[in-house]
Structures are given as C-alpha cells and as structure tokens.
Amino acid sequence: MTSTVTEARLSASTESSLIRRWLKRVTTNYIVRRFVVAFIKVIIVVSLTFFLIRLMPTNPVDVYVQELVTTYGMSADEARNQAAALLAIDLDAPLSQQYIQYMEQLAQGNLGTSFRSKGTPVKDIIGRFLPWTLFSVGTSLLISFSFGMLLGMWAAYRRESVGDHAVTTLSSIFSSIPNYLVGIMIVVFLGVQWKLFPITQMRGSMSPGMEPGFTLAFIKDIFFHAALPIMTYVLTTIGGWTLAMKSSTISTLGEDYVTVAKARGLTERRIMTGYVGRNASLPLFTSLAISIGFIVGGSILIEFIFVYQGVGQLLLTSITSRDYPVMQGIFLIITIAVILANLLAEFLYSRLDPRVRVTGGR
Amino acid sequence: MAAFWHSFRITLRLISHNKVGFIGFLVVIFFVLMSFGGPLFIPLDRTTRVDQIYAPISLQHPLGTDFSGRDVWSHLVNGGREVMIVAFVAGAISTLIAISLGSLSALAGGRLDNAIMGLADIVLTIPTLPLLIVLAGLFHFNSILILALILGTLSWPSLSRAIRAQVLSLRERDFVEAARALDLGTGHIILREIIPNMASYLLVSLIFAMTAAVYAQVGLVFLGLVPLSGNNWGVMLQLAWTKGAIFYPKALPYIMAPVFAIALFQLALVFASRALEEIFNPRLRTGV
C-alpha cells in the first residue's frame, strides 16, 4: 500500500519535472527566443505607427471634404454630409478604444477595411499592389546580386588592372547617386530626349485589357512595364554587391587555406569555385537575406517616377488621402518582412558558417 | 607656424595621393563655396519673363531659364545652402547620438546595453522613408532645422551598433587596459583612448550620414510631401517634375541642373570620404 503511494508520488514528480524541463528547454531555446523577440518587435512597431498615423494633422474626412469642394465645387456643408455618408469611419471614438479594436481585429488576421474604397478589405487592396513590387524589386535583386558577385570576383582576380579600375569606379559612381535621380535621368534621356523607350506606354504595371496568366504575351507585357524600374534598381544596387564581393574575395585570397590549396597544386578553377568563391560569398548571403526584407517596401520614389502600381505607390496615395487602415496594413507587412528577413539572415549565417554557429540552450 | 605649414603640406600631399578622392574633395569645396559665397554675387532671380520660357543656354543664362523664364543658374547657386545645412546638421546629430549611445551601450553592458540595442533594433525596423512621410505630415517641417533634427534622430541605429562593436573590441586592447590600470577614469578612456582610434571611422560615417540625409530630404521634397518654401535643389527638382519639364525637350538644362548638382555633390562626398579614410588610416594607403 505505502509502496504504491510513494511510487505514484514519484512518477508524478518526475512527470512535472519532465514538463518543467521541457518548458525550460523551450523557453531557453535560441530559435524560440528569437521568434518571441521578433513578435514583440512587430507589436511595438505596429503600435507606434498606429498612434503616429492618427496623430497626423487633417484626418481622412477633411481630406475628402476638401477634395469634393475643390474638384466638384460643392459647398462645405454639402461635402461634409456626403463625406460622412461615404466614409465609414468613426473617428470620434477615443484613440485607446480604436487601438484596442484594431489590435483585436489584427489578432484575428483582419487588417480592416479601407476608408476610401468603402468596404474593400485592406488585404485585397494590398494583394492587388504587392505582387508588382515583389516582381520588379525581386527580379532586380536577383540580377544585381548574381551579376554583382560575378563582377566583384572578376575584379578581385584582376586586381589593379584596367578592367578592375573601370568596374570599381563605375560601381562606386552608381552606388553613390540617389536611385530616383538615376530614374529621372532614364526618363529624361532614354525616354524623352533620345526616344529609345515609349515611357508613357510603359507606365503602370501591365497594359489595360491584359489577361494575367502563364502566356507569353502576359510575361512579355509585365517585363515591358517593369523594365525601366528594374533597370534603375539594378544600376543603383549592383555596385554595392560588386564592391562587397570584391573586398570579400580579396580578403579570402589572402587566407592560409587558399595558399595551402595552391601549394597542393589544385587547379585554379577548383580553388576559385571551391575555396575562394564559397567563402567569399558567405557574408553576401546575409546581406541578401536582409535585402529580401526590403523588397516589400519597394521604393516609393521609383514607383512614383515610373508610375508603377506597386506598394510604394499605394502607400503614397493612402498617405495623401489619409486612408489609415491601408497605411497601417502596409506598415505592418513591411515591418514583418524586415523582421523575418533579419531572422533569416541570422539563422542563415549560422547555418552557412560553422564558425559562428549559435549554441542553443545551456 | 612652421609646424602648422609642415603638417598642412603633409595633409595636402596625402589628400592628393588618392587622385579620385582629391577630385571629390575639390568638388565638395567647390559646391560649398558656390552655395555659401555664390548668393552674394548672384541673387535669386524671381522675375517672370513670359517671352523667355525655357530659353536655351546663353551667356546671359548659363543654364537656360525655367517655366516662367527665370534664370536657372541663379536658382542652382542659391539652392545648395539649405540642402547642405540640413545634411550637415542631420549627419552631425545622428553621429553624435550614435557615438554616445553606442559607447554607453558597450561600456555599461547588462540591461542598459540590451535596452539601447533593442531601441536601435526597433528604429531600424521601421521603414524610414514611409515614416518620414508620416512625420512630414505631423511636423509640417516649416523650418529646415526641424527636418534635419528628425532625419538625424532616425538614422543613428546602424552606426551606433557598429560603434558599440568597435568600442567592445577596443576596450580589450592593451592600451586601454593600460589606461585602466593607470586609473585614468572612464571619461579619459572614452575621449582620449577610444574615440581617437575610431576617428577615421567616425568621419567617414559622418559623411555617409550626410549623403543619406541628402537622399532623404531631396526625396521628400521631390514627392511634394515637405512644403518647404524657398529655394533649394529639391524644390527645383519637384517644380521641374510637376510642371512637366521632363517632356519638354527644350527644358533639358532646367531639369538636369538640380539632378546633376545633387548627384555630383553626393558622388564627391563619397569619394572625398575615401581619401579622408586613407589619411586617417595608414594601413589603407595604397603602395605601402
């Protein structure tokens, strides 16, 4: 009798200690902790932007009323009535109440509905604009990353040659000029002065009446419309990748294991791909992961210049019309993207480079 | 005096050693002189001349005229000052914040360190340009100094992280250990031992912060979100864009004037920073 009681007690205590140990393992686990921190960061940034956005002078109703008065010549009262009828906004509720309501919605995965296009979920609006930004900026990132790596390695191998000087100088020039100035130059010179591109036709993200799908015509069309933004992004970012790869390759070339590989009589090609290239590109992959986070934000300025319908353009119009839910939604996805990309960079680096591998727990 | 001239000559020789950097340095000086001295000789042209809209380049108008017949060259000369003041003040503010928070974080350690780096992380996460646009609505940016202040307070995090890392590694060096063993005090250690060893890095960072400030302020003005009255390169660019000057082939000098001025200024800053880096960091000097 007594023995069974103590046995039961024993098993219970081992069970609870097992759970406790398991819990401890989870809470001290490196990856879990990083994710919790990332989650807290998202909440802080979302809350900050929530209040900042609502602190902006002139609220959506004012903007709409002013628009009605100036474009349709309505009287102020008439416009105010129409605005009140059209815009489903309750801006009179206290800010704290609005905040709690927004966070509750967000917890259910609901981004709310747009003030401007009444009843349209913010998710749908962002879903319409986001793919274009992902496509144009993502393509440019791929191009400039891969070509930048090749160019950088090439320049490092031909150090102090004419080619190296040309590549290095051009890289520094293009990476120092603000990207919107390059965009303006492209519009002015390639579009208007030399008439190489029909820039007015290239505006927008696809031609009107084009059916999205896996057809050659559609793919050609979206590249036609994204060509100039992509050109601008590539021109202004490839230099950074080239310079980073060049300096990384140069420092790798001085490492002992490269000298040893040479002494062992390995072929130049084998050393370049297996020893130098692999190690030199390590730090670049971390930067690539971080850059992926900034794809979502795109570039407001570039999309503005080329009238490309991406997230940047959407953010700009939602800011000028003070469409709070849309602004908030865009800020949210940009923030999440940046934070996730940073996490990815951290994990990727520790996976790729065993020397900095993180030690979990303990 | 002789010693001064001697060190001056050495500095000059070092600057001119890196040719591209030297040219960048000269271009920066040219722009600064033009923007701060030029307005004394070339007043801002405000008269509308309907018969001279988009006049071609001539002796009278070295860069042609704009959409209401005003001289573009006078606008260019008078438009650099604000851009440079904002860039410098914003760069200085962000570098100062980065130095103080970064070194404080490294030396204090523990909870304060975590708090500061957490703050840096959050500021770094918020997308800068969208945030600036929101803030532009909030503060109206009537004065260029407010714009500079906000640009400066948003751009310190990445630099402060780097400074923290540098201080952490410098802290373990022998000369700092020696200073500590001599009981020279934290102030002395930071100001006399650690900061001088980061001088080149800080100067280069200041210049980079300045270029970032130029990028952001001109971008904001170009989008038409900062109602900056007055005249500067950003306003010129925005007016040229909204007046449709890009589609008017004769207006080429007008729209390209601010574009080239800003691009050249940025480029010159970057190249000059590289020359300065070599002066302060002997290990980088080529040919050694």
Tens-digit pLDDT profile for residues A95-139: 788 888 888 888 887 777 777 777 788 888 888 888 888 888 889
Quote the pLDDT of residue B15.
Answer: 64
Any alpha helices (H) in B52-79, and if so which ranges?
72-78
**Residue A144's pLDDT is what?**
92
Residues 88-147, chain A: which have Cβ within 8 Å of B? none
> Are the CB atoms for A168 and A249 separated by under 8 Å?
no
Question: Is residue A335 over pLDDT 50?
Answer: yes
At residue A81, does pLDDT exceed 50? yes
**CB-based contact A173 B262, cutoff 8 Å:** no
Residue type (1 letter), A193:
Q
What pLDDT is recorded for position B126? 79
The full DSSP string for A113-155 is B-TTTTT-BHHHHHHHHHHHHHHHHHHHHHHHHHHHHHHHHHH
The confidence score (pLDDT) of residue A360 equals 42
Which ranges constitute the DSSP H helices of chain B?
A: 2-17, 19-41, 72-78, 80-108, 110-125, 128-139, 144-154, 157-171, 174-181, 186-188, 195-222, 233-242, 252-280
Distance CA A177, CA B262 (A): 8
pLDDT at position B16 is 66
pLDDT under 50: residue ranges of chain B? 287-288
pLDDT bucket at A361, cuts 50 / 70 / 90 = very low
- The encoded tokens of residue A274 equal 């297996």
Residue A358: is its pLDDT beyond 60?
Answer: no
Cβ atoms of residues A147 and A238 within 8 Å: yes
Question: Quick check: A315 contacting B, CB < 8 Å?
Answer: yes
Mean pLDDT on A12-34: 77
Examine the pLDDT at A147 and tell me if it is beyond 90. Answer: yes
Residues of chain B contacting A323 with CB distance shorter than 8 Å: none
Contact A176 B135 (CB under 8 A): no
Where does the pLDDT of residue A9 fall: very low under 50, low under 70, confident under 90, or very high at 90 and above?
low
Query: pLDDT at position B93, please?
Result: 92
Q: Is the pTM of this model over 0.90?
A: no
| Dihedral sign of CA atoms B57, B58, B64, B69 in order | negative
C-beta atoms of A300 and B130 within 8 A: yes
Chain B partners within 8 Å of A191 (Cβ): 246
**Chain segment B76-120, per-residue pLDDT in tens:** 888 888 889 989 999 999 999 998 888 888 887 788 888 888 888
Encode pLDDT of A162-179 as tens digits: 888 888 888 888 888 888
Return the residue in A133, A175, A184 with the most chain B beta carbons within 10 A, the one to mutate for interface testing: A184
> Taking CB atoms and an 8 Å limit, are A192 and B20 in contact across chains?
no
A343 touches chain B (CB under 8 A): no
Give A244 or A72, the one with higher predicted confidence: A244
Q: What are the distances in angstroms from CA B234 to CA A149, A222, B29, B142, B263? A: 34, 32, 20, 15, 12
Interface A–B counts its CB contacts (< 8 A) at 104
Q: What does the alpha-carbon distance between residue A344 and residue A290 come to, in Å, rounded to a whole number?
A: 8
Residue A267 phi, psi dihedral angles, 5° rounding: -70, 150
Q: Is the pLDDT at A10 greater than 70, yes or no?
A: no
What 3 state SS string does B121-144 have?
HHHHHCCHHHHHHHHHHHHCCCCH
Nearest to B223 among A48, A191, A304 (CB): A304
Query: How does residue A85 score in pLDDT terms, banded at 50, 70 and 90?
Result: low
Q: Does A40 reach chain B within 8 Å, measured CB to CB?
A: no
Q: What is the dihedral of CA A212, A217, A223, A225, to 10 degrees?
A: -80
